[in-house]
Structure 1
Amino acid sequence: MGYGKDVQQALRAPARALRQAIPQVYESFGQLHAASLAPGALDAKTKELICLAIAVTTQCDGCIATHARGAATQGSTPEETAEAIGVAIMMAGGPGTVYGPRAFAAFNEFLAEQSLSSEK
């Protein structure tokens, strides 16, 4: 089982059903998401790394998949990602040592996918 694309695929149908049931909530969350991750004093890559670290501390596999992809898309390196996850482990303790590796595996999965698509 992967920690990136497999998680996103498993969540796709139930998320779509809920989004149809409460479209205004999802539209508002989408606006918040876009505004929060827009470049400002912090660039988008740094914000994605913060999100990924928070996802580890909150033990949210869907968040890990989303923000691992975001970090890879924004150009985060494996070293930067590992350090951000290291901070999350420090903050989360033992559970961070479970969700941190999941986050790093998801990031590497999306990074490899990007590398393949850029070679084409």
Structure 2
Amino acid sequence: MADEVTDTEELPATPTRFATEQPAVWEAYGDLGKACSDAGPLDEETKRLVKLALAVGAQSEGAVHSHARRGLDEGLDSETLQHVATLSITTLGFPKAMAARTWIGDVIDEE
């Protein structure tokens, strides 16, 4: 499953440490993510784009990086990911959309 959070191999230090210190909570969190993902009819690509859009709306740089990285790993192209940020201009405002484009660009540039 694309959003499973039980694997800590590629996570930043803080969530990795949390998963080690609180394995039952981490496992429950992963189970909740899977249940939420399985609860509706959206396909995997749409779910990834929605998660990216939610991260953009929350102005969470780390989550934008994570969902952009996962999107690329799942075969989404950079134009599609950047389009999510462009769509946010009229809802979130130009400065926040440009921040999101920068964060998505960080991940694209890593590739």
TM-score (norm 1): 0.67
Range moving further from structure 2, 39-48 or 69-78: 39-48
* Deviation of 1:38 (Å): 5.0
Q: Which residue does the alignment assign to 2:67?
A: 67
Distance in 2, matches of 1:104 and 1:55, equals 15
For residues 85-111 of structure 1, the C-alpha deviation after alignment (integer angstroms, 9 at most, x for no partner) is 2123332212232123212331x246x
For residues 58-82 of structure 1, the C-alpha deviation after alignment (integer angstroms, 9 at most, x for no partner) is 1212211211122112221222212
Provide the alpha-carbon RMSD of the alignment: 2.4
For residues 1-31 of structure 1, the C-alpha deviation after alignment (integer angstroms, 9 at most, x for no partner) is xxxxxxxxxx622222222333222111112
Distance 1:101 1:39, change over 3 A: farther
Contact 1:38–1:44 (8 Å) recurs in 2: no
Q: Which residue does the alignment assign to 1:103?
A: 104
- Matched pairs, number: 100
Q: Please state whether the residue corresponding to 1:42 is helix, strand or coil.
A: coil
Distance in 1, matches of 2:38 and 2:106, equals 25
TM-score (norm 2): 0.71
Q: Map residues 4-83 of structure 1 onto 2, 5 A cutoff.
A: 12-38=12-38, 41-83=41-83
Which has the bigger relative contact order, CA under 8 A and spacing at least 6?
1
Unaligned runs of 5+ in 2: 1-10
Distance 1:31 1:75, change over 3 A: same
Contact 1:64–1:103 (8 Å) recurs in 2: yes
Distance in 1, matches of 2:38 and 2:85, equals 22
Unaligned runs of 5+ in 1: 1-10, 113-120
